[in-house]
Structure formats: structure tokens, C-alpha cells
Amino acid sequence: MHSIDLEKKTAAALEKPPLSRTVVMRACGRLAGLLTGGAYDGEIRARGLEKLLTRERICQAASFLREDTLERRVKTELLGLQNRFLMPLGVLMHVTAGNMTGIGAYSVLEGLLAGNINLLKLSSEDDGLSVFLLQELIRIEPVLADYIYTFRIPSGDWARLLKLLTLSDGVCTWGGDEAIRGIRSLAPAGTKLIEWGHRISFAYVTEAGRSNGEALQAITDHMVRTSQLLCSSCQGIYVEAEGREAVDFSRRFLRLLEHSPMRSMGIKKWDSGDAAPSGSTRRNWSPP
């Protein structure tokens, strides 16, 4: 598509009311049902995707696309923002890594749930899964066509990348530091960069904080509510304690996990093997 045509299309979409999150989730739910029901088995074979889209992977994709799954994710990630007026960022470009199957569709779906127009730069190693899923999503709900655009642009074609970046209000980048640096150097001033990659988040409990029941409960509730899957989820805890104090803290924290009210959301049962790892230290410092 010519850059002028794309600019006109995105400008026209931006003038419309924000995309309904319910419309997106219902379309995804229908796609999930078609996937698990075998509706695409013939097309998958015709496209030569049967080795990539095994029954196990189809079930995994369908599980992620289910309407109730998406509703739970939205509720979890936007918890505390229900009383605020949320607006889309606008035009969101996605630069994905080639070593993660279907990551392009996943990234675009997150953009759709936030009401954004999405420009997906496919990786040179793209296996076709993202395009297949997005095409079917548009076929199920044609209104989404104005919010999804895919492009095959080599990473070294800076001129074409810059044209897309100029149209974008934000860029979701997936991959290593080098790829992220490259996009950051090209992105116009004021463009929001949303960086995804390998991230580990943790909590730091001071000596005084070990007895702060309210704060510890908030940590456990967040861990259980998110299943520790978000980049912002707490995957570990550093504790200002030594020896027996660290062991006692871990046991108390496990009990908080086991009795968290968030368990009612259907999160898995915790046991001693699942307890959040904690590190013992006497250094008085705070994480970045």
C-alpha cells in the first residue's frame, strides 16, 4: 500500500468513535471456536502449515483467544482503572521478533483491545501464522479491517520503516537490545516506545516491611491475580533477613498466597514448590 493511501486510511479511522473492545473479544471468541472445531483444518493443510499448527498449538491459540480469557486479562491488567476515561494511543506500529511463533498476531490483538490502529511489520522469518489469524479475524468481523495492516519490510529498509514510524503514535518492539536500539534511533521525537522482551520484576521487602501485612497482602494478591505472567508481575522477592528469619518469612508468605482472595478468580493452587523465590540480603538498597 502506498504511504499516502495508508495515511488517508488511518486518518479516516482515527475520526471514528473508538473501536469497541467487546467487538474485538467477540470476534476472537468466534475464531477460537472455529479453530478448535476443525473449520480451518483443510486450509491449514493447503497452506502447508500443518507442521506449525499442530492440534496442541491450535488448542493453545484458541485458549488465548477465548472471550472469557480476554475479559479476564482486561480486568486483570486494567484493574483500578475502571473509573477512569481510557482512550487509545492512536496508530500503533508493531515490530516483532522472528523466533516467536504468532507473536505478531498477539501484539496486534493487544493493540485492538486498547482500540488502536495497528501496523504490523512482519519479521523476515515470519511463518505465516500471524497473517492467517489476522485475516480470519477480519473475515469474521470486517470492521477490524480499518484497524489492521501488515507489511513485509526488510529490517534494513530504513526508508520504508521511517514512513511507517512517521504515521505512528507508538511502537511496540519485541526482540533484543540491538533491534530496540535501531527502532529507537529511527522513531520521531514524541513517539512512545513500548518495549517487550525478557524482563524480570521483583519486590524488595525491608526489615520493617516484613511486618507490614497490608503491603505483603497486596504483593500476594497481584502475584496470584496475574499468575506471575506479566512483565510487571513479581517473579521473586528480596528480603532483608538472615537465616531463620528468611525461612519464617517464606512460610508466612506462602500462607498468604494460599489464602489470597484472588484465588476465587480460578488461579492455580499454590504449594511449597510454587512459592515465590526469596533472596536473603542485608544490603540496604532499592531496585531500579
pLDDT value, residue 286: 29
CA angle 173, 56, 25 (to 5 degrees): 55
Q: Per the domain annotation, does 66 fall within a domain?
A: yes
Q: Per the domain annotation, does 146 fall within a domain?
A: yes
Q: Per the domain annotation, does 78 fall within a domain?
A: yes
pLDDT value, residue 197: 65
Q: Per the domain annotation, does 7 fall within a domain?
A: yes
Query: How far apart are the C-alpha atoms of 232 and 94, rounded to whole Å?
Result: 20
Q: Are residues 151 and 107 in the same domain?
A: yes
- From 142, 163, 196, the end of a domain falls on 196
b/e sequence 128-149, b meaning 16+ C-beta within 10 Å:
ebbbbbbebbbeebeebebbbb
- From 196, 223, 255, the end of a domain falls on 196
- From 148, 167, 196, the end of a domain falls on 196
Q: Per the domain annotation, does 170 fall within a domain?
A: yes
pLDDT in tens, the chain (288 residues): 566 689 999 999 999 998 999 999 999 999 999 999 999 889 888 888 787 778 877 888 888 899 999 988 888 777 655 556 678 999 999 998 766 677 889 899 999 999 999 999 988 777 788 888 999 999 999 999 999 999 988 877 888 888 999 999 999 988 767 777 878 888 888 899 888 766 678 889 999 989 898 999 888 887 887 777 666 678 888 999 888 898 999 999 998 888 887 665 544 444 433 443 334 333 323 233
Q: Per the domain annotation, does 39 fall within a domain?
A: yes
Q: Are residues 42 and 126 in the same domain?
A: yes
Q: Are residues 100 and 146 in the same domain?
A: yes
Q: Per the domain annotation, does 288 fall within a domain?
A: no
Asked if 97 and 69 touch (Cβ cutoff 8 Å), the reply is no
Structurally, the chain folds into a number of domains equal to: 2
Q: Are residues 245 and 271 in the same domain?
A: yes
Domain of 60?
A: 3-196
pTM: 0.70
